[in-house]
Amino acid sequence: MQTWTYDLTVPTGPAQNLTNLLRRTWLIPKSVYHYLRVGQRMLLNGRYQSVNTLAQPGDHVRLIFHPDDFRTPAPQFLPGNPRRLKILYENPDLIVLDKPAGQKTHANQPWEDDCLLNDLMAYYAGTPTLPYIVHRLDKATSGAIVVAKNPVMLPLLSRTIKMKQTARHYLAWIHGQLPTAQGWLTTPIGRDPTDKRKRMANGVNALPANTFYQVQRQTAHTSLVALTLTTGRTHQIRVHLAAAGHPILGDPLYDPAYHDESRLLLHAHTLKISVPFYPNTLGIICPPSQPFWQPNTI
């Protein structure tokens, strides 16, 4: 049986008991923490101790995870073409990729083999590593995307996003010029009752959504804006900008001026990730491809 072992050092700061260390500092999910405790697979300085034991800064903690600790099934996707992958960063627990515009993040049908996860399945073929999607990018969107390399890291990275410990920054070319150089777009987003592919500002079952924008460049008819998400609704940036009267150029769903040969000019430019088990924040920059900047695309 495959296992995953992590040898960790208690970070600086006040002493804390093992429960708080694992649940609050290292973001171990409650169910996984339960299995570690019952199986006595959480060792402090070489031996199992009560979960109320105080761990001091610099102490050694070993965590041993089993596949049965996790509810996430192993990915079952056909292998694709690993030569298409553009790797921005990789360590033993995660990989960050530059997803091209036009490629889906993962397959929806068992016969599909041209999605990002298919290519990663081929990349890791012959090894015990499997790719687990942490977050998604729309098919038409390009840029940085994080993939976990084991089921241990998947829930931890997902929780960093939920707790806003991961910052995602985008670039987009939009129609027209926004009224201010920077500001917030805060209209709730729900489903479009007339088109199941789309979302709508103040749509059905709308949820809060917050997007911060900063204008970077302007032409006579377009603007380049940097955008930061503090929520993660489906199509959030696309819906917010379209609702403001400034849809993203080349958006097949929300740009009235869309034509078949244009691409969506939305790019995931920067990721800042606070990775559990790692002491430092990980910062990744993904420069847009040249066509994103060429004047004839805007």
pLDDT digits (tens, 9 = 90+) for 43-77: 999 999 999 999 999 999 999 999 999 988 889 89
Host H or E run for residue 98: strand 94-99
Which burial class, exposed, middle or buried, applies to 93 when counting CB atoms under 10 A from its CB (0-12, 13-18, 19+)? buried
Tell me the C-alpha to C-alpha distance, in Å, between residue 14 and each of 20, 54, 114, 119, 226. 11, 10, 49, 44, 38
What mean pLDDT is predicted for residues 13-40?
Answer: 96
| Choices 3.30.450.80, 3.30.2350.10, 3.40.50.2300, 3.40.50.300: CATH for 166-264 | 3.30.2350.10
Tokens for 147, please give them.
Answer: 């993939």
Report how far residue 250's alpha carbon sits from residue 130's, in angstroms, rounded to the nearest whole number: 34
Classify residue 69 by its DSSP letter: G
Sequence ranges of the domains in the chain: 4-69, 82-163, 166-264
> CATH for 82-163?
3.30.2350.10
Report how far residue 250's alpha carbon sits from residue 259's, in angstroms, rounded to the nearest whole number: 7
| Choices 3.30.10.20, 3.10.290.10, 3.30.420.40, 3.40.50.300: CATH for 4-69 | 3.10.290.10
Contact predicate 182/215, CB 8 Å: yes
Catalytic residue among 69, 93, 98, 138: 138
According to DSSP, the residues that pair with 297 across neighbouring strands are none
Domains 4-69 and 166-264 share a fold: no
Q: Specify whether 138 is catalytic.
A: yes
Give the pLDDT of residue 298. Answer: 46
Give the pLDDT of residue 294. Answer: 62
Give the pLDDT of residue 279. Answer: 85
Give the pLDDT of residue 201. Answer: 95
Tokens for 77, please give them.
Answer: 């996707």
Give the pLDDT of residue 261. Answer: 67
Q: Quote the pTM value.
A: 0.90
Give the pLDDT of residue 10. Answer: 95
